[in-house]
Structure 1
Amino acid sequence: MLHEILLSLSGHPSPLLRNDHTDSAAQSVLSPPERQLLKTAGHISHLHCELISYTAHISASHPSVICRAVSTAINSTYLAAFQRKVLEVEDNVLRKDASLVGAYNIVPLTAVIGEFTGWTRRMEWLWDLVQFISKEKEGLPCRAAQLINKLRHELQTGYADIGETALSLIKVAETAWLKQVSAWVLYGRIPVLGDKDFFIQKNVDDELGFSIEHSLLPSFVTPSTATSMLFIGTSLNRVKTRSSIDPGNTGLDHLSSQLQTLANLTSPLNSAAFSRAITSIRLTLSRTTLQKLLPLSKVLEMLILLRGFFLLGRGEFAMALTQQADEAIHSRWRRADNLAYQKQYGLGNVTVKEGEVAAVLTKTWAALGSMQGQHAEEDDELEIARDLLRLNLSKTKASTPVKGRIGIDHQSPSNLADTPFRNLLFSVPVVLTLQISAPLDLFLTVSDVQAYTFINSYLLSIRRSHLHLTDLWKITSLRRHHPPPPRPPYSITKGGIARTRALRGRWSVRSSAMRSTWSTSSAAIFFLAETEAYLQIEVVEGLWEDFHSWLTGREERDKEHGRSPSSSGGHSSSAINNMTDGDDVQNNHSETAHQKQNSKTPHHHDPQTLATAHRLYLRTLTRRLLLSQASFTDSLYDLLVHVDHLVALVHRLHGIWTSMDLEADEGVVDAFSDLSAEETDVRIRIRDVEAKVKRGVESVVGVLRNLSMDSAFMAEVEDGDAAEGRDEGDDGGLGLGSGFGDEADGEGGTRYTPRRTGGIDRLLMKLDFGGWFDAGKVVHHGDEGADDDF
Structure 2
Amino acid sequence: MLAETFAVLAGHESSLFTVSPNGLQLSESFAPLLHPGERSALISLASIAFLYRNVRSFARSPSHRPNEYICALASAVGAELKEYEALVVKTEESVLRKDDALVGSGSFVPMSALLAIFSGWEPPLAALSSLIAEIKAGPSEGNEPNWPAGKLIDLVHRRARTGYSQVADIFNRLLASLQRILLHHLNAYLLHGIPLPADSIPSCISPETKEAIVYVGDAIAITQKEGWTQSLPRELLSEWTSMINNASIFETQTFDTLVASIRTGVSEWLWAHVLTRDDIVNAVESLADYFLLRNGEFSVAVIREVERLKADRLRSRNSIIRAQDLNHALLRASVGTSAETDPSLSKLSFTIPSGTMRPFLPHLTKSNTSMSRFSALPDFSSFLLGTPIQLTYPLEFPLSLFLSPSALQTYSRMHAYLTSVRRAHILLLDLWSSLSLAQRKRRKWLRIGEGGENEEITMRTILLRRSWGCVREMIWFLEVLWSYIGGDVVDTCYRTFREKMGLPTSRTRTVSRPQQETLPGTEILDFTTLRQLHTTYLTSLTSASLMASGPLSTIIHEILQTCERLVGQVERWGGDVLPDLLGAQMEGGGGMIERQQVVEEIYEIFTENLRDFFSLLATSPLLPTRNADMSTFVNASCVLNATMHGANGAASMQARRQVEHLMLKLDFNMQLSDPSALIERRL
Place the TM-score, normalised by the shorter chain, in its bin.
Answer: 0.7 to 0.9
Alignment match of 1:540 (pick from 465, 474, 490): 490
**2:532 pairs with 1:612:** yes
Quick one: percent identity of the two aligned structures? 22
Kindly tell me: are residues 351 and 615 of structure 1, through their superposed partners in 2, closer, same or farther at Cα, counting changes over 3 Å?
farther
Kindly tell me: are residues 172 and 454 of structure 1, through their superposed partners in 2, closer, same or farther at Cα, counting changes over 3 Å?
same
Shift of 1:278: 1.3
Shift of 1:511: 6.3
The aligned counterpart of 2:557 is 637
What secondary structure is seen at the aligned counterpart in 2 of 1:465?
helix
What secondary structure is seen at the aligned counterpart in 2 of 1:391?
strand
Kindly tell me: are residues 698 and 53 of structure 1, through their superposed partners in 2, closer, same or farther at Cα, counting changes over 3 Å?
same
**Which stretch shows the higher mean deviation, 322-331 or 647-656?**
647-656
The aligned counterpart of 1:287 is 268
Measured against aligned partners, the alpha-carbon deviations of 1:753-778 in whole angstroms (never above 9, x if no partner) come to: 999647443322211274867999xx
The aligned counterpart of 1:74 is 77
The aligned counterpart of 1:359 is 325
Distance 2:104 2:134 in 1: 43
Distance 2:448 2:639 in 1: 69
Superposed counterparts of 1:468-617, under 5 Å: 468-475=427-434, 478=437, 480-482=439-441, 485=444, 505=451, 513-552=463-502, 589=509, 597=517, 603-617=523-537
Kindly tell me: are residues 352 and 8 of structure 1, through their superposed partners in 2, closer, same or farther at Cα, counting changes over 3 Å?
farther
Alignment match of 1:56 (pick from 46, 60, 66): 60
**2:49 pairs with 1:83:** no
What secondary structure is seen at the aligned counterpart in 2 of 1:370?
coil
Q: Which amino acid letter does the alignment assign opposite residue 112 of structure 2?
A: T
Distance 2:612 2:435 in 1: 35
Q: Which amino acid letter does the alignment assign opposite residue 221 of structure 1?
A: I
The aligned counterpart of 1:434 is 393
Q: Which amino acid letter does the alignment assign opposite residue 364 of structure 1?
A: L
What secondary structure is seen at the aligned counterpart in 1 of 2:87?
helix
**2:277 pairs with 1:277:** no
The aligned counterpart of 2:568 is 648
Shift of 1:119: 0.5
Kindly tell me: are residues 678 and 132 of structure 1, through their superposed partners in 2, closer, same or farther at Cα, counting changes over 3 Å?
farther
Q: Which amino acid letter does the alignment assign opposite residue 34 of structure 2?
A: L
Shift of 1:719: 8.0
Measured against aligned partners, the alpha-carbon deviations of 1:158-199 in whole angstroms (never above 9, x if no partner) come to: 1111111111111111111111111100100026xxxxxx32
Q: Which amino acid letter does the alignment assign opposite residue 706 of structure 1?
A: L
Kindly tell me: are residues 478 and 100 of structure 1, through their superposed partners in 2, closer, same or farther at Cα, counting changes over 3 Å?
same
The aligned counterpart of 1:763 is 662
**2:68 pairs with 1:65:** yes
Distance 1:755 1:228 in 2: 35
Q: Which amino acid letter does the alignment assign opposite residue 407 of structure 2?
A: D
Distance 1:679 1:482 in 2: 23
Kindly tell me: are residues 594 and 602 of structure 1, through their superposed partners in 2, closer, same or farther at Cα, counting changes over 3 Å?
farther
Alignment match of 1:241 (pick from 225, 229, 234): 225
Partners of 2:159 and 2:171 within 8 A in 1:
yes
Shift of 1:619: 2.2
Measured against aligned partners, the alpha-carbon deviations of 1:613-645 in whole angstroms (never above 9, x if no partner) come to: 322322232122222322222222121112112
Measured against aligned partners, the alpha-carbon deviations of 1:493-547 in whole angstroms (never above 9, x if no partner) come to: xxxxxx7779984798866642221111111111111111112211222122222
In the superposition, the TM-score normalised over structure 1's length comes to 0.72
Shift of 1:304: 1.1
Distance 1:546 1:599 in 2: 15
The aligned counterpart of 1:576 is none
Distance 1:119 1:459 in 2: 73
Partners of 1:311 and 1:452 within 8 A in 2:
yes
Shift of 1:69: 0.7
Q: Which amino acid letter does the alignment assign opposite residue 12 of structure 1?
A: H
The aligned counterpart of 1:153 is 158
Q: Which amino acid letter does the alignment assign opposite residue 92 of structure 1?
A: S
The aligned counterpart of 1:126 is 128
Partners of 2:502 and 2:523 within 8 A in 1:
yes
Distance 1:11 1:186 in 2: 46
Partners of 1:643 and 1:693 within 8 A in 2:
no
Measured against aligned partners, the alpha-carbon deviations of 1:578-615 in whole angstroms (never above 9, x if no partner) come to: xxxxxxxxx97389989974657785444343333322
Shift of 1:269: 2.2
Distance 1:106 1:240 in 2: 73
After superposing on structure 2, the runs of 4+ consecutive aligned residues of structure 1 that deviate more than 6 Å are 499-504, 506-511, 590-596, 656-659, 714-727, 771-776
Kindly tell me: are residues 609 and 594 of structure 1, through their superposed partners in 2, closer, same or farther at Cα, counting changes over 3 Å?
same
Q: Which amino acid letter does the alignment assign opposite residue 540 of structure 1?
A: V
Partners of 2:301 and 2:334 within 8 A in 1:
yes
The aligned counterpart of 1:404 is none
**2:85 pairs with 1:186:** no
Superposed counterparts of 1:93-172, under 5 Å: 93-137=95-139, 139=141, 141-172=146-177
Q: Which amino acid letter does the alignment assign opposite residue 343 of structure 2?
A: E
Partners of 1:470 and 1:525 within 8 A in 2:
yes
The aligned counterpart of 2:402 is 443
Distance 2:633 2:436 in 1: 49
Measured against aligned partners, the alpha-carbon deviations of 1:390-438 in whole angstroms (never above 9, x if no partner) come to: 1111349xxxxxxxxxxxxxxxxxx994412111111111221211111
Alignment match of 2:602 (pick from 692, 706, 722): 692
What secondary structure is seen at the aligned counterpart in 2 of 1:62?
coil
The aligned counterpart of 1:461 is 420
Shift of 1:89: 0.8
Measured against aligned partners, the alpha-carbon deviations of 1:252-272 in whole angstroms (never above 9, x if no partner) come to: 645243101102214x62122
Distance 1:504 1:674 in 2: 12
Kindly tell me: are residues 353 and 80 of structure 1, through their superposed partners in 2, closer, same or farther at Cα, counting changes over 3 Å?
farther
Consecutive unaligned residues in structure 1, runs of 5 or more: 192-197, 200-212, 336-349, 397-414, 486-498, 555-564, 567-586, 665-672, 733-741, 745-752, 777-786
Q: Which amino acid letter does the alignment assign opposite residue 225 of structure 1?
A: T
The aligned counterpart of 1:261 is 243
Distance 1:100 1:454 in 2: 83
Shift of 1:323: 0.3
Shift of 1:127: 0.5
In the superposition, the TM-score normalised over structure 2's length comes to 0.83
**Which stretch shows the higher mean deviation, 104-113 or 41-50?**
104-113
Shift of 1:713: 5.2
Distance 2:41 2:179 in 1: 39
Superposed counterparts of 1:742-753, under 5 Å: none
Distance 2:633 2:318 in 1: 44
Distance 2:599 2:449 in 1: 28
Partners of 1:433 and 1:453 within 8 A in 2:
yes
Measured against aligned partners, the alpha-carbon deviations of 1:122-180 in whole angstroms (never above 9, x if no partner) come to: 10001011122222336562222222122222233111111111111111111111111
Shift of 1:648: 2.4
Distance 1:514 1:549 in 2: 50
Partners of 1:632 and 1:700 within 8 A in 2:
no
Partners of 2:55 and 2:129 within 8 A in 1:
yes
The aligned counterpart of 1:217 is 201
Shift of 1:72: 1.3
Kindly tell me: are residues 595 and 630 of structure 1, through their superposed partners in 2, closer, same or farther at Cα, counting changes over 3 Å?
farther
- Cα RMSD over matched residues? 4.1
The aligned counterpart of 1:4 is 4
Partners of 2:492 and 2:636 within 8 A in 1:
no
